[in-house]
Amino acid sequence: MKTPPEQIIRETQSVCPVCLAQLPAVIYETRDGEVHMSKECPVHGPCDVYLWPDAERYRWHAGMGLPSFTRAPQTDTRNGCPLDCGLCPGHERSITLPEVEVTWRCNLSCPVCFMFDGEVPADPSLEELQSMFASIVAIDGQNLPIQLTGGEPTVRDDLDEVIRLARRCGLVAVELNTNGLVIGRDRDYLRRLKDAGLTDVYLQLDGLDPETTVQLRGRDVFAGKMQAIENCRAEGIPVVLSVAVVSGVNDGELGGLIRFCMDNLDVVKGLALQPAFHSGRFEVGDAVRRLSLADVAQLVSRQSRGRIEPGDFWPVASSHPLCYGSTFLVGKGEDYHPFTRGLGEEEFRSLLDRRSPQGAAYSDVIAGLTGETGSAVGLPILIMEYMDAWTMDLERARGCNLAVTVADGRAIPFCVYHLTDAVGNRLHPHGGRGRHGRCA
């Protein structure tokens, strides 16, 4: 597939969506100003995929990277990206948010699930988890938060012991990634997790319309999620809401979610908007339009009636500049303004801490400017643009700060770890536990 040279934004490497072979790719501007990726597999043919709606903003975002901190590699460079992950010597950034999968079991069967695999390995033992935690501390340092994920972590009977183990290993904060069903119906269980060292909850909430949960989670679990928030409020556990944004399903609910957050800042401490990507299971229709970071920023702007503008979302310093867009709404209720409004490039470069986890980027800046040690009053919003086999940009993958630690201690960048082919076969098996066959 030939691309006129004057339209090329940059060249990179990607993968074939069918066989996952590494391919050269071209990112280019279309005649109507969109950004697309073009690549061609010698076996499976050409592929052209939409990336962003606005080439000018794409170029600006791409140019806003900061010098990065690297970390010690754990693997050698042999077969090239994305096969040598662990991290390899070619990785360009340190990890500021390690993830550990504590199970691959789940109590839901979501139509949209990037974790889905036809095979479900046995849960890692406490000894294996201790080894993974020790690897994170040894390679990435103690002063890091860690996210426990899955599957659904709360299906483990010993999750409190897992949390206690992570804290004993020296990790300063433990975040639970959960669908909220168990902590919504069992406050005593949630209290046990808090007593073990749980510091916050990363709660899947895709909208305020119960029908949204039916479409994206397979059944109406909205009331349980609301009760999970109330239980966290009662126990004093901060909550970050995680939203999988799917075009035509819940992309009209972003304004309402922001209002909900601003009215509940005593418990809700962040909003993560994640345009859905096509890894694992994606059963809401093949014709669903892909959404990018910039698309979601435009949706937020329209649904906030311009109070939040697309230009208020800036990159964060800890990762590749095209991976995240973030802002911080200073204030509460309806009385707020984006901190990033009017921020200059030099201020951006001088203020941001390259070691801040992505969700804390601007709250850390505000704390530094005010000299206050506590969190600023307001809401951090983070748009997280993950990649799949169609959109994979290996330059971005090499700049990733979010990695999943597997059983042998290797750390695999999030989008690479969850990379699946067009029929759902994983490149990297869950937990690094041997190659999988075809998924069910």
8-35: pLDDT as tens digits = 999 999 999 999 999 999 999 999 999 9
- pLDDT tens digit sequence for 59-76: 999 998 777 778 888 999
Residues 80-100, buried b or exposed e (16+ Cβ, 10 A)? ebbebbbbbeebbbbbbbbbb
Give me the residue spans of the domains in the chain.
97-384
In the predicted model, residues of the chain with pLDDT beneath 70 are: 1-6, 285-288, 353-361, 363-364, 367-375, 433-440
Tell me the β-bridge partners of 146: 174
Using an 8 Å Cβ cutoff, are 142 and 171 in contact?
yes
User: Distance from CA of residue 409 to its chain's centroid?
Assistant: 21
Does residue 357 come out as left (phi exceeding 0), alpha (psi in the -120 to 50 range) or beta?
A: beta
C-beta separation of 238 from 231 below 8 A: no
Task: Report pLDDT for 343.
Answer: 78
Q: What is the CA radius of gyration of the chain?
A: 21
Whole-angstrom distance, CA of residue 234 vs CA of residue 33: 49
- pLDDT on residue 436: 36
Which residue, among 97, 172, 143, 148, has the nearest Cα to 323 in the 3D structure? 97
Return d(Cα 367, Cα 361) in angstroms, integer. 10
C-alpha span between 48 and 70 (Å, rounded): 32
Counting every residue written for the chain, the total comes to 440
| Residue-level pLDDT at 350 | 78
97-384 domain in CATH 3.30.565.10? no
pLDDT at 285: 66
* Distant-in-sequence, close-in-space partners of 353: CB < 8 Å, separation ≥ 6: 317, 361, 364, 365, 368
156 vs 160: CA distance, rounded Å: 9
- Per-residue confidence (pLDDT) for residue 2, from 0 to 100: 59
39's enclosing H/E stretch is strand 35-41
Mode of pairing for the β-strands spanning 239-245 and 335-338: unpaired
